[in-house]
Structure 1
């Protein structure tokens, strides 16, 4: 890849798209297509690039100067009934009601301190994620909405609200609470309708429980029902994958997220566990794209498919897709200002998550950030590009120039490789991935990680 790097350096700051040679283009295309699932870049920079700050940062100062016109409130509930075999998120299998209550107490203390810093701008969106928020008892679930409205100042009647759930935790009482508080999107992780496939990822799940949960959800008629499914599971075939997808389509969800299976050394299902089976993920993805299009779903990213008419009747404030102004309450939640991303420490093992949660619950003060990353101008530019180009809306080149006072092509001439390869088009000033390009979003995102961030990610050691 040295020749490509030399071409990029040669064209740096020219302001135009460099023509890469056929050999360079072939090298790059092979790099992208050889391993489409090398890394899921759901945020940039990844949390493994975070480190302890030399000295704590004042949240009052961070949020006072945040230029976002509206904010996104996220509450993280880090508890699940069981840990899935593919999960590397910050979550702890713990069903104890007293543990949940202590945690919500801490979240309320944090909210009372943060409200003074973030209450000067309205909230456009509010999400409760995890973990599994619907694992909480009804009283604790109710408290989360009270914290949002009465302490954080969220107008529940005008804010887009999303809540994550799982089939075995749903009850009529809990869904009534969501309905009462005008939740307009309920997301349920199913992953597979085939019991053997669920068992293979250490997710004990009776399909009948899933069907009952879907029937119950249908009675409450939330504006948006999202269902999550995973392809590439142990023992799965393309046919069994399409069976699960068709089962989900029976309930006509407004939104469907499809995820390729990722395994890592610190997840229960290890990468080596899948070496004996053929990698069918890309074939599953392509089959899903065709099936979902036939059922009237529009593709918005590699993972998100939705009906065009899906939405809410609320008059929701505009909120940037760049996810600045993200106010993350709870242990494990991230917060994003334009220049600083911060969170609690990152852990995956039971011992590490227990320790981090105990530290959070035992704290009295939450008014400084001591762990995260300060984004240089160069990393802000990369984030801006990634958060736009990996979605069907694409990257408006003029927006980039207004924001940074420079040209996308001048700053990152290597993006011309996307266009020359046919993975993207420059459509009237919007750099947008083609349908084929969307299928390689994970490898494209991984390729675009800066050298500095990649090095920090490599050096990270899980506690």
Structure 2
């Protein structure tokens, strides 16, 4: 750990920033699994907590910065067949996990709100029949885009118990919106925000900085506009350039259209300052909320990072329980995604067909996962670590904790929780990347984008 700690300190002092860590290990480290069945991973009598993630891989268009598993080729028949399939998958899982207490349900995408009311009703009915123990405090969240947030659909979602909406706005600048590949005017976004505000107290809005043609001033205008609309939570993401995305190609052809790293860092710093001035508390590198300190603005991610099992439903969903992390194969390229969806629709759902692709963590990787993800979310607890793993957090990660304290990234430990400072939030993803095990790094390096 001492070598990792030294590397972390060097990177912080040189102002290196890394891409947002949304999971550990990432799906880029997954490989083919054999002879592992659902019954080995999930135990029928378990009544513990679990989250459900529903992946809807359809969009009306593909944004230039998008790195998601999605297709724009979803016909009405394909989408309905997909809904039928995820309901079949929910029913299958219920045989093994139906006694669990569901603490969150999240519809992600793609664009989840591409589904109509009847299709949403079909999925909710399957969940309610298969999982009767939905906690009264459960977060039921649906994400979507401004041009799919009709008043009728929002009313229906609320009637089904949805209590959180997350909408990707990305920019309030017309030119940036067009350059990003979104074919609707800013007025559509304004109407969608108002429709959501009328019905939901708990809603999140996403913005992205680093888009084509964006300037520091245009970003500030977008941010001020969104803050003035009063969402409970705002997520601010730097644009990520990865192979097979349009932004990856554009940045190499026209670098002058994009802000440089130094400006990106300056925008991040100004975001933190501006959000705090407007009454928002930082909860992670990307997320700011008006909720109090001991509340979570995104319950499913918090539960996931703390190790609550995830039941993933759909072609691109990730599942995990303890050491087992698995999914179907992952893709970004349009043709590869189309093939993956076809494979999913034709899949005979059996105990072994569900566990095709993933990774089995050893005891060290499980401990590392907790440390990495809980640190980025400011939830690192000595007591929780001891109760989960029967070991001392300080004994296992002393060198890293000392390095973070010396660099001013964590507050001097005085109680159970190890708390990030403002500087710590900024470099939390850098720390996470440095902590990735050599095994996971090797698997990620071998991953071939497709």
TM-score, structure 2 normalization: 0.91
| Candidates 254, 271, 286, aligned match of 2:232 | 254
Once residues 438 and 274 of structure 1 are traced to their aligned partners in structure 2, the CA distance between those partners, rounded to angstroms, is 31
* Structure 1 residue 158: Cα displacement: 4.5
Once residues 387 and 130 of structure 2 are traced to their aligned partners in structure 1, the CA distance between those partners, rounded to angstroms, is 36
Kept in 2: contact 1:234–1:274 (CA 8 A) = no
Structure 1 pair 417/70, CA: closer, same or farther in 2 (3 Å)?
Answer: same
Instruction: Give 1:408's aligned residue.
Output: 393
Instruction: Give 1:242's aligned residue.
Output: 220
Q: What is the RMSD of the two structures over their aligned residues, measured on CA atoms?
A: 2.4
Once residues 174 and 91 of structure 1 are traced to their aligned partners in structure 2, the CA distance between those partners, rounded to angstroms, is 22
* Structure 1 residue 309: Cα displacement: 5.5
Kept in 2: contact 1:50–1:372 (CA 8 A) = yes
| Residue 223 (1) aligns with residue 223 (2) | no
Instruction: Give 2:279's aligned residue.
Output: 296
SS at match of 1:93: coil
Once residues 47 and 309 of structure 2 are traced to their aligned partners in structure 1, the CA distance between those partners, rounded to angstroms, is 6
| Residue 307 (1) aligns with residue 290 (2) | yes
CA displacement, residues 62-92 of structure 1 (integer Å, 9 cap, x when unaligned)? 1118978211011110111111111111111
Instruction: Give 1:15's aligned residue.
Output: none
* Structure 1 residue 384: Cα displacement: 0.6
Structure 1 pair 267/33, CA: closer, same or farther in 2 (3 Å)?
Answer: farther
Kept in 2: contact 1:109–1:364 (CA 8 A) = no
Instruction: Give 1:81's aligned residue.
Output: 60
Structure 1 pair 116/291, CA: closer, same or farther in 2 (3 Å)?
Answer: same
| Candidates 21, 27, 33, aligned match of 1:47 | 27
Structure 1 pair 138/65, CA: closer, same or farther in 2 (3 Å)?
Answer: closer
| Residue 398 (1) aligns with residue 377 (2) | no
SS at match of 1:80: coil
| Residue 438 (1) aligns with residue 425 (2) | yes
| Residue 272 (1) aligns with residue 255 (2) | no
SS at match of 1:64: coil
Q: Which runs of 5+ in 1 are unaligned?
A: 9-19
Structure 1 pair 237/34, CA: closer, same or farther in 2 (3 Å)?
Answer: farther
* Structure 1 residue 252: Cα displacement: 0.5
Once residues 234 and 378 of structure 1 are traced to their aligned partners in structure 2, the CA distance between those partners, rounded to angstroms, is 41
Q: Which runs of 5+ in 2 are unaligned?
A: none
Instruction: Give 2:185's aligned residue.
Output: 206
Instruction: Give 1:116's aligned residue.
Output: 95
Kept in 2: contact 1:395–1:430 (CA 8 A) = yes
CA displacement, residues 158-200 of structure 1 (integer Å, 9 cap, x when unaligned)? 4210100110111122111111012110000000001212233
Structure 1 pair 320/265, CA: closer, same or farther in 2 (3 Å)?
Answer: closer
Kept in 2: contact 1:91–1:131 (CA 8 A) = yes
CA displacement, residues 11-66 of structure 1 (integer Å, 9 cap, x when unaligned)? xxxxxxxxx8xxx5xx643423546443322000010100001x231112211189
Structure 1 pair 65/282, CA: closer, same or farther in 2 (3 Å)?
Answer: farther
Instruction: Give 2:326's aligned residue.
Output: 342
Kept in 1: contact 2:46–2:99 (CA 8 A) = no
SS at match of 2:357: strand
TM-score, structure 1 normalization: 0.88
Instruction: Give 2:375's aligned residue.
Output: 389
| Candidates 131, 135, 150, aligned match of 2:129 | 150
Once residues 103 and 382 of structure 2 are traced to their aligned partners in structure 1, the CA distance between those partners, rounded to angstroms, is 25
Structure 1 pair 286/68, CA: closer, same or farther in 2 (3 Å)?
Answer: farther
| Residue 101 (1) aligns with residue 80 (2) | yes
- Greater shift, 343-352 or 439-448, is seen at 439-448
Structure 1 pair 48/67, CA: closer, same or farther in 2 (3 Å)?
Answer: farther
Kept in 2: contact 1:36–1:442 (CA 8 A) = no
CA displacement, residues 122-152 of structure 1 (integer Å, 9 cap, x when unaligned)? 1011111111110112211221211211233
Kept in 2: contact 1:66–1:338 (CA 8 A) = no
Once residues 46 and 117 of structure 2 are traced to their aligned partners in structure 1, the CA distance between those partners, rounded to angstroms, is 36
SS at match of 1:161: strand
Once residues 409 and 246 of structure 1 are traced to their aligned partners in structure 2, the CA distance between those partners, rounded to angstroms, is 42
Once residues 430 and 420 of structure 1 are traced to their aligned partners in structure 2, the CA distance between those partners, rounded to angstroms, is 17
Q: Describe how 1:152-167 pairs up with structure 2 within 5 A.
A: 152-153=131-132, 155=134, 158-167=137-146
